Structure 1
Amino acid sequence: MTTVVIADDEALLRKALAALLPLEGEITVLAEAEDGESAVEATLQHRPDVLVIDLEMPGLDGLGAVARIRDARPEQVILMLTRHARPGVLRRALKLGVQGFAGKAAEPAHIASVITTLREGRRWVDPDVSALAVIDDNPLTDREMDVLRATGEGYSAADIAARLHLAEGTVRNYLSNAMHKTQTRTRHEAARYAREHDWL
């Protein structure tokens, strides 16, 4: 028997999965969560074999919740659901150690099958999700993303330089390059643009 926690802010979908997954295989649903915060709490409390979590939720999103769970429970097996894989999402999820990625429109029988696959120690990325996600149109370098991420958190150029152990002039160069690549006028606009395109 495979135990799961289901986290999704769409109550209808969450409850449908909770009701249908046990009918599709040897699956027991231990708990449901309606947002990222409760997903973290439920996962750490119930310690399921597989966490089934929505990517997009209000407040703490799926990736944020996964990052927190990974800190406390590195071995947790995770299946992430999404309606659309924008460029960068799959890469970020895999970097966080997410083992499975499936579309929210998938049939419960398919999701149950993927859960079993993950429980057996294998990975699964739906071909449709993969095809969308491999189109990587991010022109930013890793360092440019680092400085934009820090900008989005409200740090000044001097603060960013100290945090990333770089010269302030170097940080300004990275910011200037990022603004040019995103065709924006300020570093805050560049950070917003990058987040909207899911590059950060």
Structure 2
Amino acid sequence: MIRIVIAEDQQMLRGALTSLLQLEEDIEVVAQVANGKDALDMIEHHQPDICLLDIEIPMMTGLQVAAQIRHRQWPCKIMIVTTFARPGYLQKATEMQVDGYLLKDEPIDTLVDAIRKVMKGEKVISPELAVALFQHEENPLTEREREVLRLVKQGKSTRQIAQVLFLTTGTIRNYLSAAIQKMEANSRQQAIIKAEEKGWI
């Protein structure tokens, strides 16, 4: 029996997915949750064979849950499901050596087949997502620019970032300005969103 934990914040989709998978004689959904924190708790509690994680779930993203599974060296295989073919997400998932990466609009038969393949030790990826990976762009941001954007994302002000990095506020503004320009963004927040989507921070 293949034991699965599902993490998906859309209740209707989560329920439908659970019901359809339960129809398979060799699959059992041992837990279904709506956020990343609960997913981690349920994976620790049930020790499933596979966790099926949506990327954009509250509290902890699917990728953050995957990172914790790898860090704790749990044997659970990781399958990511997503609505968007974003190269940044796929790049991070590849770096974490997830076992499956599928688009949500795949037929249920494709998902069931992928689950069985993953259990046999195979890696599975949706063709559209594979194309996105090959279109991966080079990161134009310097390490310092990435560092500054990450600190802004944490909610730190220009002055606080200057203190953390032992630089002047003027220098921090210059790094931010350069990063915003490279991201072709209108604000620091938009630059962060774009950089995250591409997997650059």
Fold in common (TM above 0.5): yes
State the SS of the aligned residue for 2:87.
coil
Greater Cα offset, 110-119 or 185-194: 185-194
2:89 paired residue number:
89
Shift of 1:170: 8.0
Distance 1:181 1:102, change over 3 A: same
Structure-1 residue corresponding to 2:112 = 112
Percent identity of paired positions between Structure 1 and Structure 2: 32
**SS of the counterpart of 2:165?**
helix
CA contact (8 A) 1:21 1:109 kept: no
Runs of 5+ consecutive residues of structure 1 not aligned to the other structure = none
User: In the aligned structure 2, how far is the partner of 1:16 from the partner of 1:30?
Assistant: 15
Distance 1:188 1:14 in 2: 31
CA contact (8 A) 1:6 1:51 kept: yes
Instruction: Give the corresponding residue for 1:68.
Output: 68
Separation (CA, whole Å) in 2 of partners of 1:184 and 1:12: 35
Aligned equivalents of 1:41, 1:131: Cα separation in 2 = 34
TM-score (structure 2 length as normaliser): 0.81
CA distance in 1, matches of 2:19, 2:80: 18
Cα distance in structure 2, aligned partners of 1:22 and 1:191? 40
Match of 1:191 in 2: 192
Root mean square deviation of aligned Cα? 2.8
1:183–1:129 distance in 2 versus 1, CA, 3 Å: closer
- Determine the structure 2 residue equivalent to 1:29: 29
Rate the CA distance shift 1:57–1:136 in 2: closer, same or farther, 3 A.
same
Q: Partner letter of residue 32 of structure 1?
A: Q
Structure 2 runs not aligned, ≥5 long: none
Q: Is contact 2:88-2:196 (8 Å) kept? A: no
Partner of 1:158: 162
Structure 1 residue 57, shift from structure 2 partner: 1.7
Paired with 1:160 and 1:109, the residues of 2 have a C-alpha distance of 51
Q: Which segment is superposed worse, 112-121 or 71-80?
A: 71-80
